[in-house]
Structure 1
Amino acid sequence: MSGLLALLDDVAAIAKVAAASIDDVAAQATKAGAKAAGAVIDDAAVTPKYVTGFDADRELPIIWRIARGSLINKLVFLLPAGLALSAFAPAAITPLLMLGGCYLCFEGAEKVAHVLGVGHHEDETTEAVPDDPAHLEEQKISGAIKTDFILSAEIMTIALAAIPESTFWMEAATLAAVAVLITVSVYGAVGLIVKADDLGLLMAAKGRLDVTRRLGRGLVAVMPKVLTTLLVIGTAAMLWVGGNIILHGLANLGFTWPYNQIHHAADVVVHGLDRGRAAAKWILVAAMDGVLGLALGMVLIPIGTRVITPIWQRLKRLNPVV
């Protein structure tokens, strides 16, 4: 009997450790996912364009296939690569993270330049659009998954850098949780956004009550504004996160002057405030990080559009699988 009680005590102790580990994974995954806000919001803002022009009954299946491809990108390819980096080449994480930060700055600045009507505009007519709807669907899904790979690489690298030093299995579990959490959140939100128009049209056309029909018409009218707002927030978040990554990366590499100057300037501005000093400092630092990200992105636009993009297009013509 005493042996059985001892065994039950051991089982209870193991269960407590497992529960604590799950809590730790969830907490670390939430914090790491929050660090990737810029790429996550941009992912949610970009994805709806891939279902534009398709029948309503094909929208959710297309989103599901893109989500499945995104999960494969994260779990099958990027998670092992991230763990290998952490185990064998941890010094490479900061430079890779800064490279991802540069890409965020470039993408955000290119969106700003497009709105302002300056700079490079991508020629969408260079790639032939297939007449077969099934072929077009496959092409759109393939393109979305390739784009997702870049964004997912940024998300996973940012998450990896945000995880406190821990065991191999804790890092693996946290990264896997981040991958699943972000994929479900992004593509679940995309599904809701894409189907909101259809729901509004259905309510407007078949609602029994006048208030239902008006709510449906309002939903249809507001969705373009929601998408526009999401794009604006996504662009601002990309520039903020990108600039922040660059500043922290430079500080980690020993060049602390830009990081220190921004925080010193924020401290000077909020010094006289009686309340809300921490919040005001955070907003100021985020704004300055975003301005830095925008400036860096503007510098990177000519490099990206005149050097990297032509090379990438040549590679795609030589090897259509790329």
Structure 2
Amino acid sequence: MSAGIFGLLDDVAALARLAAASIDDVGAAAGKATLKATGVVVDDTAVTPQYVHGIAAERELPIIKKIAIGSLRNKLVFILPAALLLSQFLPSALPVLLILGGTYLAFEGAEKVWEAFAHHDDHVGDLETVEHTPHEEKQLIAGAVRTDFILSTEIMVIALDSVKDEAFLARLAILVVVAIAITIGVYGVVAAIVKMDDVGLLLSQRKSAGIQKLGRGLVAAMPKVLSTLSTVGIVAMLWVGGHILLVNVHELGWWEAPYELVHHLEHSVHGGIVGWLVNTGCSAVVGLVVGAVVAVVLHVLPHRHGADEAH
């Protein structure tokens, strides 16, 4: 009987070692997948602060928390199951979904560019705190979660592509880890950024003159940082949207010339940082053009149709 017990313990120990090895493999693969999606993660971090730009200080963290919960729900409830099923049974559909998402991002970015120019004389960059009604706050959060959905889809699809050779259950575990880690990372950084002025205020009340100076510097700098991040977020929508369109339209063979032109320009400057800047700039232009066309279709044509009916 004791031999049976020891045999059982050996089996349990073997299973434990196997489970530990599997966890290590999942962690390593998740780290690799997250690294591949770093570019979009940075864009996600830059886009989000604009949604709490000018919000009352006491509402910043609650709003970020709600957006983070919406982001995690996007990844785990909607994107992850759909991406896994499509990758298993209909992998050719993923590029089409990304093209739709890239078009939406480009449209969002182009609309914000238009709004910035249309209200240029209405104190653009004014950081006066705005009080939002519960309904307005709910709409703001919904808009942020919709934008996050596109960025999260890109992140999850990039991560999925990096582990496509893994078994189904391994892919599932890896993508769950990626979804949770990226959401915590992105919205943790966003929360730290938007509350940095409060940290500066606390530091400015300390006894040390040096710490007081640092605190005052943070308080003075944060409005400019948030304003800059808001602009970066708009540009990020355009360049990520444009890049998604370029890559996936080329991958599907619909129109290869734009991607090949950008690829040629990137290599003509020998890649590196300059090459990345060329690629990013071209992607942003593509995003702006496509987004502007979509905006015209959605806003101008309905008005014209209404005017025709009035006549």
TM normalised by structure 2 equals: 0.75
- Output the CA distance in 2 between the equivalents of 1:97 and 1:199: 39
Q: CA deviation at 1:209?
A: 1.7
Q: Does 1:179 align with 2:169?
A: no
Q: Is the 8 A contact 2:102 2:244 kept in 1?
A: yes
Displacement after TM superposition at 1:90 (Å): 0.9
Per the TM alignment, residue 197 of structure 1 is displaced from its structure 2 partner at its CA by: 0.7
Alignment of 1:37-116 (within 5 A): 37-104=38-105
TM-aligned CA deviation for residue 265 of structure 1? 6.6
- Over 3 Å counting, the alpha-carbon distance change for 1:295 and 1:287 in structure 2 is same
Pairing 1:127-276 to 2, within 5 Å after superposition: 133-204=133-204, 206-228=205-227, 230=229, 245-246=244-245, 248-249=247-248, 252-253=251-252, 270=270
2:280 is aligned with 1:290: yes
CA deviation profile, 1:292-322 (whole Å, cap 9, x unmatched) = 3133223303322112467999xxxxxxxxx
Asked if the contact 1:101/1:245 (under 8 Å) is kept, the reply is yes
What is the letter of the counterpart of residue 288 of structure 2?
M
- C-alpha distance in 2 between matches for 1:111 and 1:267: 31
**In structure 1, C-alpha distance between the alignment counterparts of 2:289 and 2:11, rounded to whole Å:** 60
Q: Is the 8 A contact 2:51 2:144 kept in 1?
A: yes
1: CA distance, partners of 2:284 / 2:114? 10
Note the alpha carbon deviations across 1:216-259, whole angstroms, 9 max, x for none.
11111222343355456656766665565455535644577776
Q: Give 1:31's aligned residue.
A: 32
Once the two structures are TM-superposed, the CA of residue 113 in structure 1 deviates from its matched residue by 7.7
> Which residue of 1 is the match for residue 308 of structure 2?
none
Change (3 A) 1:284 1:51: closer
**Contact between 1:200 and 1:216, CA under 8 Å: does it hold in 2?**
yes
Counterpart AA for 2:273: I
Q: How far 1:290 moved relative to its partner? A: 1.8
Taking a change above 3 Å as real, the CA distance of residues 156 and 194 of structure 1, as seen in their structure-2 partners, is: same
Tell me whether 29-38 or 170-179 shows the greater mean CA deviation.
29-38
Matched residue type, 2:174: T
Amino acid at match of 2:284: L
Separation in 2, partners of 1:42, 1:210:
37
Counterpart selection for 2:293 from 303, 308, 312: 303
Classify 1:40/1:106 alpha carbon distance in 2 versus 1 (closer, same or farther; 3 Å).
Answer: farther
2:80–2:175 Cα contact (<8 Å) kept: yes
2:92 is paired with a residue whose SS is: helix
C-alpha contact (below 8 Å) 1:102/1:296 kept by paired residues: no
Once the two structures are TM-superposed, the CA of residue 215 in structure 1 deviates from its matched residue by: 0.8
Q: Deviations over 1:128-187 (max 9, x none)?
A: xx9874444333333332332233233223322333322111111122112111110111
Structure 1 distance, partners of 2:140, 2:302, is 18
The whole-number CA distance in structure 1 between the counterparts of 2:97 and 2:225 is 33
Q: How many aligned positions are there?
A: 293
Identity of aligned residues (%): 50
Letter in 1 for 2:19: A
Q: Give the aligned residue type for 1:173.
A: A
Tell me how far apart the structure 2 counterparts of residues 312 and 175 of structure 1 sit (CA, whole Å): 41
Aligned-pair distance for 1:16?
A: 3.0
